[in-house]
Amino acid sequence: MPMTQAVSAPSASSPLLRIETRGRVLVVGLNRPAKRNALNDAIILEIERCFAALSEDVGAVVLHGIGEHFSAGLDLSELQERDATAGLHHSRMWHRVFDAIQQSRVPIIAALQGAVIGGGLELACAAHIRVADPSAYYALPEGSRGIFVGGGASMRLPRLIGVHRMADMMLTGRVYEANEGVALGFSQYLVAANGALAKALELAERVAQNAPLTNFAVLQALPMIAEASPQTGLMLESLMAAVAQSDQEAKNRIRDFLEKKIGKVISG
């Protein structure tokens, strides 16, 4: 499917985020290439503002890094000394922002290249689909720096790769390359060099065409069903199926599909 011509959205952009629209896809670029897109409080809050103001016209979001890296994680040059209370509230602020990404009403697709480490990996884990090119690599250097993850990695990453593998990364500084990452669950796609953004846009344009309620069910209900007891999960599935099928959008799509199928049978 040909990609829609990019249309800038300068009113939504900032020095820290480069934002544009491509049809129903919002493209959000972390814009600190000189810092390998390291994350500080300012860019985290810009991300929060961006996701809090998603237009109803947006059907999917692509998140990527400007330059050669997705994100090298926490910007240690701006790390402040905090007491335990301030540190707790700071971590919870990151949780709030990354939760907003994970719980977004539309699918979030991360295009990964270069460094995807520390807080950058935490940000990537909050997305629903991750596409990597061969330059991507994953690491959690917090252990060697005397700190602990604070952006949700201890909750999200073990669900992707397992607790023991994450522990190994933090204890030993182990780095995983892109080809290992797709096999282990860091990403769902591995594409050719410099192809992550194009693939992410292709996927975003595809999922943006789905019925909004179906996308919402996949993003919100599916994780709950997967973690529920079998009987609770099956009941939630039945309820979600009933709600989705009763939606007018679903009825219109099923009717259109059946009419096209009948038309082919008659013409054949």
Q: In order of start, what are the domains of the chain with their CATH numbers? A: 7-207 (3.90.226.10), 212-267 (1.10.12.10)
pLDDT confidence of residue 6: 41
What is the SS3 assignment for 229? coil
pLDDT category at 2 given cuts 50, 70, 90 is very low
Catalytic residue among 46, 56, 142, 177: 142
Residue 121, amino acid: L
How confident is the model over 150-163, as a mean pLDDT?
Answer: 96
How confident is the model over 144-151, as a mean pLDDT?
Answer: 88
More reliable by pLDDT, 143 or 170:
170
User: CB-based contacts of 26: which residues, under 8 Å, 6+ apart?
Assistant: 9, 19, 20, 54, 55, 58, 60, 61, 62
pLDDT confidence of residue 266: 61
pLDDT confidence of residue 173: 95
Instruction: Say how far apart CA 157 and CA 163 lie, in whole Å.
Output: 8
Catalytic residue among 122, 177, 205, 227: 122
pLDDT category at 12 given cuts 50, 70, 90 is low
pLDDT confidence of residue 263: 56
| Cα 123 to the center of its chain, rounded Å | 7
Q: Which of 175-184, 226-235, 251-260 has the lowest mean pLDDT?
A: 251-260
- Is 122 considered catalytic here? yes
Percent of the chain with pLDDT over 90: 78
pLDDT confidence of residue 268: 56
How confident is the model over 141-162, as a mean pLDDT?
Answer: 92
pLDDT confidence of residue 13: 74
Measured CA to CA in angstroms, residue 109 lies from 81, 114, 144, 163, 240 at distances of: 34, 16, 30, 24, 23
**What is the secondary structure of 138-174 as a DSSP string?**
EE-GGGGGT----SSHHHHHHHHH-HHHHHHHHHH--
Q: Which of 19-33, 228-242, 246-260 has the lowest mean pLDDT?
A: 246-260
Tell me: pLDDT of 4 over 80.
no
pLDDT category at 87 given cuts 50, 70, 90 is confident
Question: What's the mean pLDDT when you consider all of the chain?
Answer: 90
Predicted confidence (pLDDT) per residue in 186-231, tens digit: 999 999 999 999 999 999 999 999 999 999 999 999 999 999 999 9
The model carries a pTM of 0.88
Q: Which of 25-39, 57-71, 164-178, 231-245 has the lowest mean pLDDT?
A: 231-245
- Is 259 considered catalytic here? no
